[in-house]
Structure 1
Amino acid sequence: MRDVQNETDDRNLEIDRVGVRDISWPIAVPDRDSGTQETIANVSLSVSLPRDYRGTHMSRFVEVLSSQEKRVTFHNMEGLLETLRARLAARDAHALFDFPYFITKSAPVSGAKGRVRCDVRFDASLVDDEFDLVTTVTAPIQTLCPCSKEISDFGAHNQRAHAVMEVRLSGFVWLEEFVKMADDCASAPIYSLLKREDEKFVTERAYMHPKFVEDAVRDLALAMRAEPRVLWYRVSVASHESIHNHDAFAVIVGDKRNG
């Protein structure tokens, strides 16, 4: 049978990334409370393609994914890329895993338990034998505007916001630890289940801790600075404004690898 992919191409153009994306794949990730959490990831896999090859072998991407352990962690992403690169005879390999992750939170007064969704991404690359992994955790939080509180006779506008933490790590960090950092930088945490006494507590806590997105993102950056396992970070907070027809956002990038 003719192997069309291995035919020589004479256009003299290397392809930076070629592969497959939007693969729904069951995975298990470490869960601090229960050991592992089953979830579904949206997966993209790609490799570089030399200029003299017409095409890559698309089926091999799924074969490599199928051959891996279902447990996807900080520790085995490099092995996945090494296998991918060897199987496809490529110089570079890349993988993206996007998946929902659920944190169980207890309401602050009643103790009622509910699950809050966070969104996680593993962005891994193996380029010229250099492995890189950026982990992104997006967690919902609440912000209350200090200016609105200052100028209003009653109340202040408050809204749901999202804290996005992109990090390069030197060691394993629980996803729950990042969610706690996000909660601590907010006017108040977000819960999925609140009784009346909890709602009173949360709204009053937010009122007593007003924060602009600038305040929240600075507090989040300080938490990243203080965490020795974080080598590099890009943190952002976006507030989905309740009285404006736009979002407010702020971003800080820090690199501790060079002191």
Structure 2
Amino acid sequence: MSQQLPDVQATAPDVTVGLSQVGVTGVEKLVKIAREGKRPIVLTAEFEVFVDLPAWRKGADMSRNMEVIDEILEDATREEAYRVEEVCGEAAERLLEKHDYTTRAEVKMEAEFMRRERTPESDRETQHTVDIIASATATEEGTREEIGAHVVGMTVCPCSQGMSVARAKQALEDLDVDEETINAFLDEVPQPGHSQRGHATITVESEGDPDVDLNDIVEIARDSMSARIYNLAKRPDEDHMTYHAHADAKFVEDCVRAMAEGVVSEFDHLPDDAVVTMIQSNDESIHQHNAHAERVVEMGTLREEVDGDAGR
């Protein structure tokens, strides 16, 4: 007769304090995302899985968490039929069902996604990397899913550029160049400013299927900075990036506001309670610190702010 092993995790803890998150991190899985008329996208994804833990229970059932994750992700790999955020949503809902002591289950996922594109001037095929962000939170009230992306680009500081404009204008005046020619030259040739590598992140969280295309999020994020950057760059491409970045100098705050405009324009169908997160971080080139700006806001509020600004 086999001996029944004690369920130590179900016993009472020495200190009766509840925990908001207990789970596992660093779970790697292959996830296959189906595309209509195209080969599926295969992602190497890293998951974090959490449940809340009441004060009366010593520990969560880690093996059960892993079992659920294995089941749902294996299904996703076989079926090729899930959106990324749906994988997280279904896993979170199963976690909630299988843990009778929990009231909240969270599943987070990150993965690298390679996208093909062409260089802006030499028209060469190249690829660039996008970090996909997805998550879901399941409670008795329902499940909210989040989808988003982190991309890299280039920004130029308007303040630094403004000083260069003033220097160039003074030098041209000293050479007796007339004001009309000076202004025409400065309009045509953007002046130098210190450049930065920019990191833009956009996520959208809502209940149910928000009908948000990940590719649209990526495009909004890339366009929010001064210029896109490319892995492959011939000299004409380098000139293109440098010129366009300096022709559209942006503070870190400007990038977040550009994201806001793009989100409202592209995703106007989102419900008012959808939560949009927009983050811009710039790696400063002439300072030891970095610049950072962000906004977390419900879509209804963001829509009012952007539309109100457009009406002024």
* Number of equivalenced pairs: 259
Query: Residue in 1 aligned with 2:105?
Result: 93
Q: Which moved more, 1:185-194 or 1:24-33?
A: 24-33
Unmatched 5+ residue regions in structure 2?
Answer: 169-190, 305-312
Under a length normalisation based on structure 2, what TM-score does the superposition of the two structures give?
0.75
- Helix, strand or coil for the counterpart of 1:188? coil
Quick check: 1:155 aligned with 2:158?
Answer: no
Rg larger for: 2
2:287 alignment partner, one of 237, 244, 249:
244
Give the match for residue 228 of structure 1: 268
Comparing both structures, which one devotes a greater share of its residues to strand?
1
**Which letter does structure 2 place at the counterpart of 1:164?**
T
Q: 1:142, 1:159 within 8 Å by CA — same for their partners in 2?
A: yes
Q: Quick check: 1:81 aligned with 2:84? A: no
2:116 aligned to 101, 104, 117, which one? 104
Asked if structure 2 preserves the Cα contact closer than 8 Å seen for 1:101 and 1:118, the reply is yes
> What TM-score, normalized by structure 1, do the two folds share?
0.89
Find runs of 4+ consecutive structure 1 residues off by over 4 angstroms.
30-35
1:9 counterpart residue number: 12
2:227 alignment partner AA: A
Cα deviation code 1:216-244 (max 9, x no counterpart): 21111111222224432121211111111
Contact map agreement 1:173 1:229 (CA 8 A) in 2: no
Alpha-carbon contact 2:220-2:262 (below 8 Å) kept: yes
Aligned to 1:182: 221
1:22 equivalent to 2:26? Answer: yes
Q: Which amino acid in structure 2 is aligned with residue 92 of structure 1?
A: R
Higher mean displacement: 165-174 or 90-99: 165-174
Whether the 8 Å CA contact 1:165–1:236 is kept in 2: the answer is yes
The residue type equivalent to 1:228 in the other structure is D
Name the SS of the counterpart of 1:210 in structure 2.
coil
Higher helix share goes to which structure?
2
**5+ unaligned residues in a row in structure 1: which ranges?**
none
Q: For 1:58-92, what per-residue CA distance to the aligned partner results, in whole angstroms no more than 9, with x for missing partners?
A: 11112111111235523343322221122232332
Partner letter of residue 223 of structure 2? D
The question of whether the paired residues in 2 share the 8 Å contact of 1:74 and 1:172 is answered with: no
CA 149–55 in structure 1, closer or farther in 2 if over 3 Å, else same:
closer
| 1:254–1:55 distance in 2 versus 1, CA, 3 Å | closer
- Counterpart pick for 1:219 among 258, 263, 276: 258
Q: Does 1:56 align with 2:93?
A: no
Say which SS state the counterpart of residue 85 (structure 1) adopts: helix
Identity within the alignment, %:
25
What is the match of residue 131 of structure 2? Answer: 119
TM-superposed deviation, 1:7: 4.2
